[in-house]
């Protein structure tokens, strides 16, 4: 995910859900020719959700990030030439 995308979105006063952050990050990874899949489920936790071990955002219950919140982001990818962020 481009940090510019997130900063630009938040600067408009619009919030971004944890699920949207996960989907955006995965779509950016998928643009790389050697991307295979995520190496584990992305953890995108806003405020209190960041403290939940192995948290996984769900569309019906996820929090929304604003420019006043804290975000924990833990993500990794499996690529043809290597793996990042393995559990």
pLDDT in tens, 15-49: 999 999 999 999 999 999 999 999 999 999 999 99
Owning domain of residue 12: 3-83
User: Token pair of 22, please?
Assistant: 């996960």
**83 HSE (CA, 13 A, CB side):** 8
Q: What is the pLDDT of residues 65-78, one digit of tens each?
A: 999 999 999 999 99
Sign of CA dihedral 73, 17, 5, 25: positive
Q: Are 46 and 68 in contact (CB under 8 A)?
A: no
* pLDDT tens digits for range 12-22: 999 999 999 99
**Domain total of the chain:** 1
56 alpha-carbon distance from chain centroid: 10
């Amino acid at each position: 995910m481009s940090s510019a995308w997130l900063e630009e979105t938040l600067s408009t006063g619009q919030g971004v859900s944890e699920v949207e952050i996960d989907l955006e990050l995965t779509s950016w990874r998928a643009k790389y020719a050697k991307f295979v899949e995520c190496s584990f489920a992305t953890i995108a936790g806003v405020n209190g959700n960041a403290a939940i071990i192995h948290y996984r955002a769900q569309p019906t219950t996820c929090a929304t990030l604003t420019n006043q919140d804290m975000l924990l982001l833990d993500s990794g990818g499996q690529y043809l030439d290597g793996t990042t962020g393995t559990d």
